Every structure is written in structure tokens, then in C-alpha cells.
Amino acid sequence: MIKRIVKMTFKEEEISAFKSNFEANKDKIKAFPGCHHVELLQAKDNPKIFFTFSVWDGEDALETYRHSDLFKGIWKVTKAMFDGRPEAWSLDFIG
């Protein structure tokens, strides 16, 4: 299993729309084959910064999702709201 963290910074005027879009799609992401968990976090010191945290069966499951129509549709809407370049990390659980 891998854990995935994606950091995104949004334009202030897009925060509400982003939250709504995430809420509308989170159950679809959770239901995607190989996904065990997904959640949205917001930075305490900068409300424009959000993180998604997800858990996947492995790299193959994540890559299948990233090439899916579901991801492409969500990402197209989301990236138009950015106020900075997103960053992403795939992590292995150690202990």
C-alpha cells in the first residue's frame, strides 16, 4: 500500500468552489478500485493551502486512477483554481 499527499494552493476566490467540488467527488474517488481512503486537509496558517491524503493498493492502482476519466474531469476543474504549482508525494508506510 502507498499513501499519497498532494499539496495545492488556491486563489482565495476559488476556495469555496474547490471545497464544493471535492465534496461532490470524494465518494467517487473513494469508490475507485484500489482506493482505501481519501480526505481533504487545510493548512491552519494559510487557508489557501490544501492537502489531499489518500491510501491506495499500490502505484498501479494510483496510476489507473490518474489516467481515468474521473481524475481527468476533476483535475481539469481543479487546476483552473490554482494559485501556485501543486506538489505531490507517494509514500510507503515504515512503522
Beta strands 87-92 and 2-9: pairing type?
antiparallel
Q: Report the pLDDT value the prediction gives residue 26, as an integer from 0 to 100.
A: 97
pTM of the predicted structure, to 2 decimals: 0.92
Q: Report the pLDDT value the prediction gives residue 31, as an integer from 0 to 100.
A: 98
Nearest-angstrom CA–CA distance, 83 and 55: 26
Q: Report the pLDDT value the prediction gives residue 66, as an integer from 0 to 100.
A: 96
Q: Report the pLDDT value the prediction gives residue 95, as an integer from 0 to 100.
A: 80
Q: Spell out the per-residue pLDDT of the chain, length 95, in tens.
A: 999 999 999 999 999 999 999 999 999 999 999 999 999 999 999 999 999 999 999 999 999 999 999 999 999 999 999 999 999 999 998 88
**Domains present along the chain, CATH in parentheses:** 2-92 (3.30.70.100)
